[in-house]
């Protein structure tokens, strides 16, 4: 098996697990799921059961508490089979947003479900009229008492059709450019 200088025996053992999982659970279904444009929730849950989704989620929130290299192992194994259809990378980024920037209440509410695959995450940045220049997003999230009213359109969202948790880029202060942009977590 190809390896890298930074990999330990633990990374290689984890890579074997991911490789077997993709070979047995993903490859046989790949064409069908591509046709359907969707990865079934059951597949996410199996990845969660094996510790693939929660490898770097803190142990107190249902993960394995490992270093980021273990997530990289999964990306490498996806690359090895030429897969860009399973949106693990986006799920992983959203999970790390919550772990790094969420409140303790948000971490406790969402991280265990993101680690187990009970929840699939997406990130909604791109809009029909806004790509690279995220300061120009038109979606707004306007505070109204104890809630926000979120209004706008998004496109090209990986996991968008199956996501349970969508980290959405919106303007909370439409008069400001970069300073008025926020990440709203939509369950
Ligand atoms: C497979 C796939 C999955 C995606 N998943 C997601 C997702 O999960 N969530 C999400 O929010 N979006 C997603 N996107 C959208 C993607 O992030 C956008 O396509 C991207 O932000 C670029 O926007 P755009 O296509 O409008 O191109 P534009 O922003 O219009 O850019 C067009 C071209 O101009 C260049 N360019 C832009 N600005 C500048 C500049 N200032 N200087 C020089 N060159 C510049 C760009 O490099 C590019 O070559 C996905 C796209 C694809 C193809």
- What confidence tens digit (pLDDT) does each residue in 40-65 have? 999 999 999 999 999 999 999 999 99
- For residue 158 and ligand 1, the question of a CB distance below 6 A is answered with yes
Domain 9-119 matches domain 123-186 at the CATH topology level:
no
Nearest-CA residue for atom 11 of ligand 1:
125
Residue 57 CA, distance from chain mean position: 12
* Residue identifier of the C-alpha nearest atom 45 of ligand 1: 132
Domain residue ranges of the chain, discontinuous segments joined by +: 9-119, 123-186
Residues with Cβ within 8 Å of 69's Cβ and at least 6 positions away in sequence, in order, are 6, 7, 11
So what's the pLDDT on residue 1?
A: 59
Q: What is the pLDDT of residue 178?
A: 85
Residue 98's H or E segment, with its range, is helix 88-101
Determine if ligand 1 sits within 6 Å of the CB of residue 124: yes
Residue holding tokens 């977590």?
A: 185
Q: Is 75 in the pocket of ligand 1 (CB under 6 A)?
A: no
Question: Which class is domain 123-186?
Answer: mainly beta
Give phi and psi for 142, each to the nearest 5.
-100, 125
Q: Does the beta carbon of 47 sit less than 6 angstroms from any atom of ligand 1?
A: no
- Residue 2 has a pLDDT of 64
Q: Would you state the pLDDT for residue 177?
A: 81
**Ligand 1 atom at minimum distance from 154 CA:** 11
Asked if residue 125 has its Cβ within 6 Å of ligand 1, the reply is yes
Q: Which ranges of the chain have pLDDT less than 70? A: 1-2
The CATH number of 9-119, from 1.10.275.10, 3.30.2350.10, 3.40.50.300, 1.10.540.10, is: 1.10.540.10
The C-alpha R_g of the chain, in whole angstroms, comes to 18
Q: Closest ligand 1 atom to the C-alpha of 90? A: 8
């Amino acid at each position: 098996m190809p390896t890298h200088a930074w990999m330990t025996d633990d990374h290689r053992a984890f890579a074997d697990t991911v490789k077997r999982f993709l070979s047995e659970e993903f490859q046989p279904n790949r064409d069908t799921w591509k046709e359907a444009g969707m990865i079934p929730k059951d597949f996410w849950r199996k990845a969660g059961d094996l510790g693939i989704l929660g490898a770097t989620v803190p142990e107190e929130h249902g993960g394995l508490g490992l270093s980021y290299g273990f997530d990289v192992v999964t990306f490498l194994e996806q690359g090895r089979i030429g897969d860009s259809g399973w949106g693990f990378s986006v799920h992983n980024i959203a999970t790390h947003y919550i772990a790094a920037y969420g409140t303790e209440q948000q971490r406790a509410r969402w991280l265990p479900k993101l680690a187990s695959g009970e929840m699939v995450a997406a990130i909604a940045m791109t809009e029909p009229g806004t790509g690279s220049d995220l300061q120009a997003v038109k979606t707004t999230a306007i505070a109204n008492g104890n809630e926000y009213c979120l209004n706008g359109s998004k496109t090209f969202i990986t996991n968008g059709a199956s996501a349970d948790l969508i980290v959405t880029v919106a303007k909370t202060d439409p008069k400001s450019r970069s300073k008025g942009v926020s990440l709203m977590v939509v369950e």
